[in-house]
Structure 1
Protein backbone atom coordinates (compact mmCIF):
# COMPACT_ATOMS: atom_id res chain seq x y z
CA UNK A 1 0.00 0.00 0.00
CA UNK A 2 1.32 3.45 -0.90
CA UNK A 3 1.97 6.18 1.64
CA UNK A 4 -0.82 8.29 0.15
CA UNK A 5 -3.28 5.39 0.42
CA UNK A 6 -2.41 5.01 4.10
CA UNK A 7 -3.07 8.68 4.73
CA UNK A 8 -6.34 8.74 2.77
CA UNK A 9 -7.70 5.62 4.48
CA UNK A 10 -6.21 6.43 7.89
CA UNK A 11 -4.64 2.97 7.83
CA UNK A 12 -1.46 2.03 9.72
CA UNK A 13 1.54 1.72 7.41
CA UNK A 14 4.72 -0.29 7.79
CA UNK A 15 7.42 2.31 8.60
CA UNK A 16 10.06 0.17 6.88
CA UNK A 17 8.00 0.04 3.72
CA UNK A 18 7.59 3.81 3.81
CA UNK A 19 11.36 4.23 4.21
CA UNK A 20 12.01 1.89 1.28
CA UNK A 21 9.62 3.79 -0.96
CA UNK A 22 11.08 7.14 0.02
CA UNK A 23 14.63 5.90 -0.57
CA UNK A 24 13.65 4.40 -3.93
CA UNK A 25 12.05 7.69 -4.96
CA UNK A 26 15.15 9.66 -3.97
CA UNK A 27 17.43 7.24 -5.84
CA UNK A 28 15.24 7.46 -8.97
CA UNK A 29 15.35 11.25 -8.88
CA UNK A 30 19.13 11.20 -8.43
CA UNK A 31 19.49 8.97 -11.50
CA UNK A 32 17.28 11.29 -13.53
CA UNK A 33 19.11 14.42 -12.34
CA UNK A 34 22.48 12.90 -13.26
CA UNK A 35 21.21 12.03 -16.75
CA UNK A 36 19.73 15.48 -17.30
CA UNK A 37 23.02 17.04 -16.21
CA UNK A 38 24.84 15.09 -18.92
CA UNK A 39 22.49 16.43 -21.62
CA UNK A 40 23.18 19.69 -23.49
CA UNK A 41 20.56 22.30 -22.51
CA UNK A 42 18.71 22.05 -25.84
CA UNK A 43 18.32 18.29 -25.48
CA UNK A 44 17.03 18.33 -21.91
CA UNK A 45 13.54 19.10 -23.14
CA UNK A 46 13.59 15.77 -25.00
CA UNK A 47 13.39 13.98 -21.65
CA UNK A 48 9.88 15.34 -21.04
CA UNK A 49 8.66 16.07 -24.58
CA UNK A 50 7.03 13.25 -26.56
CA UNK A 51 8.51 12.42 -29.95
CA UNK A 52 6.51 13.99 -32.79
CA UNK A 53 3.73 11.65 -34.01
CA UNK A 54 4.92 11.96 -37.60
CA UNK A 55 8.38 10.74 -36.60
CA UNK A 56 6.90 7.68 -34.90
CA UNK A 57 4.53 7.02 -37.80
CA UNK A 58 7.33 7.21 -40.37
CA UNK A 59 9.79 5.13 -38.38
CA UNK A 60 7.84 2.17 -37.06
CA UNK A 61 10.87 -0.13 -37.16
CA UNK A 62 12.93 2.22 -34.98
CA UNK A 63 10.01 2.62 -32.58
CA UNK A 64 9.63 -1.15 -32.28
CA UNK A 65 13.36 -1.62 -31.75
CA UNK A 66 13.38 0.91 -28.93
CA UNK A 67 10.29 -0.56 -27.27
CA UNK A 68 11.86 -4.02 -27.40
CA UNK A 69 15.25 -2.84 -26.15
CA UNK A 70 16.47 -4.52 -22.99
CA UNK A 71 19.00 -3.24 -20.43
CA UNK A 72 21.57 -5.34 -22.33
CA UNK A 73 20.59 -4.01 -25.78
CA UNK A 74 22.86 -2.42 -28.39
CA UNK A 75 21.11 -0.12 -30.87
CA UNK A 76 22.50 1.97 -33.73
CA UNK A 77 20.21 4.73 -35.05
CA UNK A 78 21.22 6.28 -38.36
CA UNK A 79 19.61 8.90 -40.58
CA UNK A 80 19.82 12.45 -41.87
CA UNK A 81 20.14 15.37 -39.42
CA UNK A 82 16.95 16.33 -37.62
CA UNK A 83 14.92 13.15 -38.23
CA UNK A 84 14.58 12.42 -34.49
CA UNK A 85 17.46 10.07 -33.65
CA UNK A 86 18.60 11.87 -30.50
CA UNK A 87 15.06 12.55 -29.29
CA UNK A 88 14.18 8.85 -29.57
CA UNK A 89 17.40 7.85 -27.80
CA UNK A 90 16.80 10.25 -24.90
CA UNK A 91 13.23 9.07 -24.42
CA UNK A 92 14.39 5.45 -24.32
CA UNK A 93 17.05 6.31 -21.74
CA UNK A 94 14.34 7.91 -19.58
CA UNK A 95 12.30 4.69 -19.80
CA UNK A 96 15.29 2.65 -18.62
CA UNK A 97 16.05 5.12 -15.81
CA UNK A 98 12.51 4.57 -14.54
CA UNK A 99 13.25 0.85 -14.44
CA UNK A 100 16.16 1.50 -12.09
CA UNK A 101 19.15 2.01 -14.39
CA UNK A 102 21.64 4.87 -14.59
CA UNK A 103 22.14 6.69 -17.90
CA UNK A 104 24.57 9.11 -19.48
CA UNK A 105 24.58 11.16 -22.68
CA UNK A 106 27.84 11.83 -24.55
CA UNK A 107 28.22 14.04 -27.61
CA UNK A 108 31.14 12.89 -29.74
CA UNK A 109 32.65 16.32 -30.44
CA UNK A 110 32.53 17.34 -26.78
CA UNK A 111 33.85 13.95 -25.71
CA UNK A 112 36.84 14.17 -28.05
CA UNK A 113 37.60 17.62 -26.64
CA UNK A 114 37.64 16.10 -23.15
CA UNK A 115 39.84 13.24 -24.37
CA UNK A 116 42.27 15.73 -25.94
CA UNK A 117 42.44 17.63 -22.64
CA UNK A 118 43.05 14.38 -20.76
CA UNK A 119 45.87 13.45 -23.17
CA UNK A 120 47.45 16.83 -22.42
CA UNK A 121 47.40 16.17 -18.69
CA UNK A 122 43.95 17.54 -17.87
CA UNK A 123 41.07 15.92 -16.03
CA UNK A 124 40.05 12.45 -17.26
CA UNK A 125 37.26 12.32 -19.79
CA UNK A 126 33.98 10.86 -18.47
CA UNK A 127 33.82 7.08 -18.29
CA UNK A 128 31.81 5.50 -21.10
CA UNK A 129 31.81 2.14 -19.35
CA UNK A 130 30.31 3.00 -15.96
CA UNK A 131 26.68 3.97 -16.79
CA UNK A 132 24.09 1.22 -17.24
CA UNK A 133 22.77 3.05 -20.31
CA UNK A 134 24.92 5.13 -22.67
CA UNK A 135 23.81 7.40 -25.49
CA UNK A 136 26.75 8.14 -27.78
CA UNK A 137 25.52 10.92 -30.05
CA UNK A 138 26.78 11.76 -33.56
CA UNK A 139 29.32 8.96 -34.09
CA UNK A 140 31.53 9.81 -37.05
CA UNK A 141 30.98 13.55 -36.75
CA UNK A 142 34.68 14.10 -36.14
CA UNK A 143 37.71 11.99 -36.98
CA UNK A 144 39.32 10.86 -33.72
CA UNK A 145 42.95 11.11 -32.73
CA UNK A 146 44.78 7.84 -32.11
CA UNK A 147 44.21 8.24 -28.36
CA UNK A 148 40.49 9.00 -28.83
CA UNK A 149 40.18 6.04 -31.21
CA UNK A 150 41.60 3.74 -28.55
CA UNK A 151 39.05 4.96 -26.02
CA UNK A 152 36.21 4.70 -28.54
CA UNK A 153 37.16 1.16 -29.50
CA UNK A 154 37.50 0.21 -25.83
CA UNK A 155 34.03 1.59 -25.16
CA UNK A 156 32.45 -0.43 -27.97
CA UNK A 157 34.20 -3.63 -26.92
CA UNK A 158 33.58 -3.30 -23.18
CA UNK A 159 29.94 -2.26 -23.39
CA UNK A 160 29.13 -5.04 -25.84
CA UNK A 161 30.99 -7.76 -23.96
CA UNK A 162 29.56 -6.64 -20.58
CA UNK A 163 26.02 -6.42 -22.01
CA UNK A 164 25.42 -2.78 -21.13
CA UNK A 165 22.67 -0.90 -22.94
CA UNK A 166 24.14 1.34 -25.62
CA UNK A 167 22.37 3.62 -28.10
CA UNK A 168 24.53 5.17 -30.81
CA UNK A 169 23.26 7.83 -33.19
CA UNK A 170 24.94 8.85 -36.43
CA UNK A 171 24.26 10.49 -39.76
CA UNK A 172 26.26 7.64 -41.30
CA UNK A 173 25.49 3.94 -41.67
CA UNK A 174 27.78 1.54 -39.79
CA UNK A 175 29.48 0.59 -43.07
CA UNK A 176 30.21 4.24 -43.84
CA UNK A 177 31.26 5.28 -40.35
CA UNK A 178 34.07 2.68 -40.04
CA UNK A 179 36.36 4.25 -42.68
CA UNK A 180 35.45 7.68 -41.33
CA UNK A 181 36.76 6.72 -37.90
CA UNK A 182 39.93 4.89 -39.00
CA UNK A 183 42.08 4.81 -42.14
CA UNK A 184 43.26 1.34 -41.19
CA UNK A 185 40.98 -1.14 -43.03
CA UNK A 186 41.37 -3.78 -40.32
CA UNK A 187 40.43 -1.36 -37.52
CA UNK A 188 37.55 0.06 -39.57
CA UNK A 189 36.24 -3.48 -40.21
CA UNK A 190 36.45 -4.31 -36.50
CA UNK A 191 34.46 -1.19 -35.61
CA UNK A 192 31.79 -1.94 -38.21
CA UNK A 193 31.55 -5.51 -36.90
CA UNK A 194 30.88 -4.29 -33.38
CA UNK A 195 28.37 -1.71 -34.52
CA UNK A 196 26.49 -4.34 -36.52
CA UNK A 197 26.55 -6.87 -33.66
CA UNK A 198 23.44 -5.25 -32.22
CA UNK A 199 20.55 -3.81 -34.20
CA UNK A 200 21.02 -1.03 -36.75
CA UNK A 201 17.94 0.95 -37.78
CA UNK A 202 17.68 3.72 -40.34
CA UNK A 203 15.34 6.67 -39.73
CA UNK A 204 13.57 8.60 -42.46
CA UNK A 205 11.77 11.93 -42.55
CA UNK A 206 12.17 15.68 -42.81
CA UNK A 207 14.42 17.81 -40.63
CA UNK A 208 12.24 18.48 -37.56
CA UNK A 209 14.56 20.89 -35.79
CA UNK A 210 13.06 24.31 -35.00
CA UNK A 211 13.74 26.82 -37.74
CA UNK A 212 14.54 24.16 -40.33
CA UNK A 213 13.39 24.75 -43.84
CA UNK A 214 10.34 22.71 -44.83
Structure 2
Protein backbone atom coordinates (compact mmCIF):
# COMPACT_ATOMS: atom_id res chain seq x y z
CA UNK A 1 0.00 0.00 0.00
CA UNK A 2 2.87 2.37 0.75
CA UNK A 3 4.32 1.60 -2.68
CA UNK A 4 0.99 2.30 -4.37
CA UNK A 5 0.78 5.65 -2.57
CA UNK A 6 4.33 6.53 -3.61
CA UNK A 7 5.55 6.77 0.01
CA UNK A 8 8.95 5.29 -0.77
CA UNK A 9 10.75 6.74 2.26
CA UNK A 10 8.21 5.36 4.74
CA UNK A 11 8.35 2.02 2.94
CA UNK A 12 12.16 2.01 3.37
CA UNK A 13 12.40 3.07 7.03
CA UNK A 14 9.32 1.25 8.39
CA UNK A 15 11.11 -2.07 9.13
CA UNK A 16 13.91 -0.39 11.07
CA UNK A 17 11.73 2.19 12.85
CA UNK A 18 9.01 -0.20 14.04
CA UNK A 19 11.22 -2.06 16.62
CA UNK A 20 12.39 1.30 18.02
CA UNK A 21 8.81 2.50 18.38
CA UNK A 22 7.82 -0.73 20.18
CA UNK A 23 10.85 -0.69 22.45
CA UNK A 24 10.37 2.95 23.47
CA UNK A 25 6.56 2.66 23.63
CA UNK A 26 5.86 5.46 21.18
CA UNK A 27 2.24 6.49 20.84
CA UNK A 28 0.54 5.82 17.51
CA UNK A 29 0.46 9.57 16.86
CA UNK A 30 4.20 9.98 17.54
CA UNK A 31 5.01 6.99 15.34
CA UNK A 32 2.92 8.39 12.48
CA UNK A 33 4.43 11.88 12.85
CA UNK A 34 7.95 10.44 12.67
CA UNK A 35 7.17 8.46 9.52
CA UNK A 36 5.51 11.39 7.77
CA UNK A 37 8.25 13.87 8.76
CA UNK A 38 10.91 11.56 7.28
CA UNK A 39 8.91 11.30 4.04
CA UNK A 40 8.55 15.09 3.82
CA UNK A 41 12.27 15.67 4.54
CA UNK A 42 13.36 13.26 1.83
CA UNK A 43 10.98 14.75 -0.70
CA UNK A 44 12.28 18.23 0.12
CA UNK A 45 15.87 17.11 -0.41
CA UNK A 46 15.00 15.53 -3.75
CA UNK A 47 13.11 18.64 -4.85
CA UNK A 48 16.06 20.91 -4.00
CA UNK A 49 18.48 18.60 -5.79
CA UNK A 50 16.28 18.49 -8.91
CA UNK A 51 15.84 22.27 -9.01
CA UNK A 52 19.56 22.85 -8.49
CA UNK A 53 20.25 20.64 -11.51
CA UNK A 54 17.68 22.52 -13.59
CA UNK A 55 19.13 25.87 -12.46
CA UNK A 56 22.39 25.04 -14.32
CA UNK A 57 24.70 26.60 -11.75
CA UNK A 58 28.35 26.41 -12.91
CA UNK A 59 29.34 25.43 -9.36
CA UNK A 60 27.68 24.92 -5.99
CA UNK A 61 27.77 27.90 -3.64
CA UNK A 62 25.95 28.83 -0.47
CA UNK A 63 25.98 31.91 1.70
CA UNK A 64 27.60 29.81 4.45
CA UNK A 65 30.61 29.04 2.26
CA UNK A 66 31.29 32.67 1.32
CA UNK A 67 34.40 34.05 3.03
CA UNK A 68 33.20 37.29 4.62
CA UNK A 69 36.52 37.65 6.45
CA UNK A 70 38.27 38.18 3.11
CA UNK A 71 35.73 40.83 2.05
CA UNK A 72 35.76 43.05 5.13
CA UNK A 73 33.60 45.70 3.40
CA UNK A 74 30.78 43.19 2.85
CA UNK A 75 28.72 41.89 5.77
CA UNK A 76 26.25 39.02 5.68
CA UNK A 77 23.63 41.34 7.16
CA UNK A 78 23.80 43.39 3.94
CA UNK A 79 22.51 40.37 2.02
CA UNK A 80 19.82 39.29 4.49
CA UNK A 81 17.00 40.94 2.56
CA UNK A 82 17.83 38.74 -0.46
CA UNK A 83 17.85 35.42 1.39
CA UNK A 84 14.17 35.10 2.34
CA UNK A 85 10.91 34.63 0.43
CA UNK A 86 10.65 38.41 0.09
CA UNK A 87 13.28 38.20 -2.65
CA UNK A 88 10.44 36.99 -4.90
CA UNK A 89 7.41 38.50 -3.17
CA UNK A 90 8.95 41.99 -3.32
CA UNK A 91 10.87 41.53 -6.61
CA UNK A 92 14.22 42.43 -5.04
CA UNK A 93 16.59 42.47 -8.00
CA UNK A 94 20.30 43.06 -7.53
CA UNK A 95 23.24 44.36 -9.58
CA UNK A 96 26.66 43.39 -8.23
CA UNK A 97 29.60 45.28 -9.74
CA UNK A 98 33.25 44.56 -9.11
CA UNK A 99 36.52 43.31 -10.53
CA UNK A 100 37.15 39.58 -11.08
CA UNK A 101 37.51 37.41 -8.00
CA UNK A 102 35.51 39.56 -5.59
CA UNK A 103 32.75 36.98 -5.12
CA UNK A 104 29.97 38.36 -7.31
CA UNK A 105 29.03 35.06 -8.93
CA UNK A 106 29.31 33.15 -5.64
CA UNK A 107 26.92 35.56 -3.94
CA UNK A 108 24.32 35.44 -6.73
CA UNK A 109 24.39 31.63 -6.89
CA UNK A 110 24.07 31.51 -3.08
CA UNK A 111 21.03 33.81 -3.21
CA UNK A 112 19.44 31.71 -5.97
CA UNK A 113 20.18 28.50 -4.06
CA UNK A 114 18.51 29.91 -0.96
CA UNK A 115 15.47 30.75 -3.10
CA UNK A 116 15.33 27.10 -4.21
CA UNK A 117 15.45 26.03 -0.56
CA UNK A 118 12.54 28.42 0.08
CA UNK A 119 10.44 26.59 -2.52
CA UNK A 120 11.15 28.60 -5.68
CA UNK A 121 12.83 27.91 -9.02
CA UNK A 122 16.01 29.56 -10.29
CA UNK A 123 18.04 29.70 -13.49
CA UNK A 124 21.66 30.69 -14.15
CA UNK A 125 23.09 32.00 -17.42
CA UNK A 126 25.81 34.29 -18.65
CA UNK A 127 24.86 37.49 -20.43
CA UNK A 128 26.71 36.33 -23.57
CA UNK A 129 24.92 32.96 -23.67
CA UNK A 130 21.49 34.53 -23.15
CA UNK A 131 22.01 37.25 -25.77
CA UNK A 132 23.53 34.92 -28.36
CA UNK A 133 20.74 32.34 -27.93
CA UNK A 134 17.93 34.88 -28.22
CA UNK A 135 19.43 36.76 -31.17
CA UNK A 136 19.48 33.67 -33.39
CA UNK A 137 16.22 32.12 -32.13
CA UNK A 138 13.70 31.29 -34.87
CA UNK A 139 10.88 31.41 -32.33
CA UNK A 140 11.74 34.17 -29.86
CA UNK A 141 8.72 33.55 -27.62
CA UNK A 142 9.71 29.91 -27.15
CA UNK A 143 13.35 30.87 -26.56
CA UNK A 144 12.34 33.40 -23.91
CA UNK A 145 10.38 30.91 -21.78
CA UNK A 146 13.36 29.33 -19.94
CA UNK A 147 14.41 32.81 -18.83
CA UNK A 148 10.94 34.03 -17.88
CA UNK A 149 9.51 31.03 -16.02
CA UNK A 150 11.97 30.69 -13.08
CA UNK A 151 11.25 32.85 -10.05
CA UNK A 152 14.89 34.01 -9.92
CA UNK A 153 17.23 34.59 -12.88
CA UNK A 154 20.99 35.06 -12.51
CA UNK A 155 22.67 36.84 -15.44
CA UNK A 156 26.41 36.55 -14.95
CA UNK A 157 29.32 38.48 -16.51
CA UNK A 158 27.33 41.40 -17.91
CA UNK A 159 29.79 43.42 -19.99
CA UNK A 160 32.69 40.95 -19.86
CA UNK A 161 32.39 40.33 -23.61
CA UNK A 162 31.41 42.55 -26.49
CA UNK A 163 27.91 42.13 -27.92
CA UNK A 164 26.85 42.82 -31.47
CA UNK A 165 23.82 44.76 -32.69
CA UNK A 166 20.51 43.66 -31.23
CA UNK A 167 21.92 42.72 -27.82
CA UNK A 168 20.02 45.48 -26.03
CA UNK A 169 16.75 44.52 -27.74
CA UNK A 170 16.70 40.89 -26.57
CA UNK A 171 18.07 41.65 -23.09
CA UNK A 172 15.44 44.35 -22.60
CA UNK A 173 12.67 41.88 -23.46
CA UNK A 174 13.88 39.53 -20.72
CA UNK A 175 14.22 42.31 -18.15
CA UNK A 176 10.93 43.99 -19.05
CA UNK A 177 8.87 40.76 -19.03
CA UNK A 178 10.32 39.70 -15.69
CA UNK A 179 9.76 43.20 -14.29
CA UNK A 180 6.09 43.10 -15.30
CA UNK A 181 5.71 39.64 -13.75
CA UNK A 182 7.45 40.71 -10.53
CA UNK A 183 10.34 38.24 -10.92
CA UNK A 184 13.79 39.41 -9.82
CA UNK A 185 17.06 39.32 -11.75
CA UNK A 186 20.53 39.09 -10.20
CA UNK A 187 23.20 40.70 -12.41
CA UNK A 188 26.97 40.48 -12.01
CA UNK A 189 29.13 42.92 -13.95
CA UNK A 190 32.62 44.37 -14.12
CA UNK A 191 31.39 47.51 -15.85
CA UNK A 192 30.05 50.66 -14.16
CA UNK A 193 26.39 51.22 -14.96
CA UNK A 194 27.20 54.31 -17.02
CA UNK A 195 29.10 52.05 -19.47
CA UNK A 196 26.23 49.61 -20.08
CA UNK A 197 25.00 51.74 -22.99
CA UNK A 198 28.38 51.38 -24.69
CA UNK A 199 28.44 47.62 -24.03
CA UNK A 200 24.93 47.10 -25.41
CA UNK A 201 25.27 49.66 -28.23
CA UNK A 202 22.09 51.42 -27.09
CA UNK A 203 22.14 54.09 -24.37
CA UNK A 204 18.36 54.41 -24.01
CA UNK A 205 17.64 50.69 -23.73
CA UNK A 206 20.54 50.31 -21.30
CA UNK A 207 19.00 52.99 -19.08
CA UNK A 208 15.61 51.27 -19.34
CA UNK A 209 17.17 47.94 -18.30
CA UNK A 210 18.88 49.51 -15.29
CA UNK A 211 15.75 51.48 -14.37
CA UNK A 212 13.55 48.37 -14.24
CA UNK A 213 16.17 46.32 -12.41
CA UNK A 214 16.75 48.90 -9.69
CA UNK A 215 13.13 50.03 -9.26
CA UNK A 216 12.61 47.45 -6.51
CA UNK A 217 16.22 46.32 -6.42
CA UNK A 218 19.63 47.43 -5.28
CA UNK A 219 23.09 48.11 -6.60
CA UNK A 220 26.12 46.89 -4.67
CA UNK A 221 29.76 47.46 -5.58
CA UNK A 222 32.47 45.08 -4.40
CA UNK A 223 36.06 46.27 -4.24
CA UNK A 224 39.39 44.75 -3.35
CA UNK A 225 41.72 42.05 -4.55
CA UNK A 226 40.78 38.74 -6.13
CA UNK A 227 40.00 35.89 -3.74
CA UNK A 228 41.48 33.48 -6.29
CA UNK A 229 44.85 35.25 -6.01
CA UNK A 230 44.70 36.02 -2.29
CA UNK A 231 47.96 34.17 -1.53
CA UNK A 232 49.92 35.71 -4.41
CA UNK A 233 51.43 39.17 -4.70
CA UNK A 234 50.77 40.51 -8.18
CA UNK A 235 50.83 44.05 -9.53
CA UNK A 236 48.12 45.13 -11.98
CA UNK A 237 49.01 48.81 -12.31
CA UNK A 238 49.15 49.69 -16.00
CA UNK A 239 50.72 53.01 -17.08
CA UNK A 240 48.26 55.49 -18.54
CA UNK A 241 48.74 56.62 -22.12
CA UNK A 242 50.30 60.07 -22.55
CA UNK A 243 47.87 62.98 -22.33
CA UNK A 244 45.08 60.60 -21.28
CA UNK A 245 43.01 61.32 -18.21
CA UNK A 246 42.15 58.60 -15.71
CA UNK A 247 38.61 58.62 -14.33
CA UNK A 248 37.47 56.94 -11.15
CA UNK A 249 33.74 56.50 -10.65
CA UNK A 250 31.72 55.86 -7.54
CA UNK A 251 28.04 54.99 -7.72
CA UNK A 252 25.90 55.65 -4.67
CA UNK A 253 22.53 53.98 -4.77
CA UNK A 254 19.58 54.17 -2.38
CA UNK A 255 17.74 51.03 -1.26
CA UNK A 256 14.70 50.45 -3.45
CA UNK A 257 11.63 48.46 -2.48
CA UNK A 258 7.97 48.40 -3.27
CA UNK A 259 7.40 50.64 -0.26
CA UNK A 260 9.75 53.33 -1.60
CA UNK A 261 9.79 54.96 -5.05
CA UNK A 262 12.83 54.91 -7.26
CA UNK A 263 15.30 57.50 -6.05
CA UNK A 264 18.03 59.26 -7.94
CA UNK A 265 21.55 57.90 -8.10
CA UNK A 266 24.68 59.92 -7.59
CA UNK A 267 27.79 59.81 -9.67
CA UNK A 268 31.08 61.09 -8.30
CA UNK A 269 33.87 61.83 -10.66
CA UNK A 270 37.54 62.53 -10.01
CA UNK A 271 39.79 63.32 -12.91
CA UNK A 272 43.54 63.12 -12.63
CA UNK A 273 45.84 64.33 -15.39
Structure 2 contact 179–213 (Cα < 8 Å) conserved: no
Structure 1 contact 138–170 (Cα < 8 Å) conserved: yes
Q: 1:209 and 1:93, CA in 2 relative to 1: closer, same or farther beyond 3 A? A: same
In structure 2, the partner of 1:57 is: 72
Any residues of structure 2 matched to 1:1-214 within 5 Å, and which?
A: 7=17, 10=21, 11=26, 12-13=31-32, 19-35=39-55, 38-40=56-58, 44-47=59-62, 50-60=65-75, 63-69=76-82, 70-71=87-88, 72-118=91-137, 124=143, 127-183=146-202, 185-197=203-215, 198-209=217-228, 213-214=232-233
Moved over 6 A (4+): none
The structure with the larger Rg is 2
Alignment gaps of 5+ in structure 1: none
Alignment gaps of 5+ in structure 2: 1-9, 234-273
Structure 1 contact 178–192 (Cα < 8 Å) conserved: no
2:232 and 2:149 mapped to 1: Cα distance? 39
TM-score by length of structure 1 reads 0.77
Aligned length: 204
2:214 and 2:92 mapped to 1: Cα distance? 12
The structural deviation recorded for 1:7 is 3.2
The structural deviation recorded for 1:105 is 0.7
1:152 and 1:22 mapped to 2: Cα distance? 38
The structural deviation recorded for 1:213 is 4.8
1:94 and 1:52 mapped to 2: Cα distance? 17
**Which deviates the most, 168-177 or 8-17?**
8-17
Larger RCO (alpha carbons 8 Å, 6+ apart): 1
Q: 1:49 and 1:25, CA in 2 relative to 1: closer, same or farther beyond 3 A? A: closer
Q: 1:180 and 1:89, CA in 2 relative to 1: closer, same or farther beyond 3 A? A: same
SS in structure 2 at match of 1:46 = coil
SS in structure 1 at match of 2:137 = helix
Indicate the RMSD between aligned Cα atoms, in angstroms.
3.4
Instruction: Provide Cα deviations, 1:162-191, integer angstroms capped at 9, x if missing partner.
Output: 2213211101122222332133x3323322
The structural deviation recorded for 1:153 is 0.2
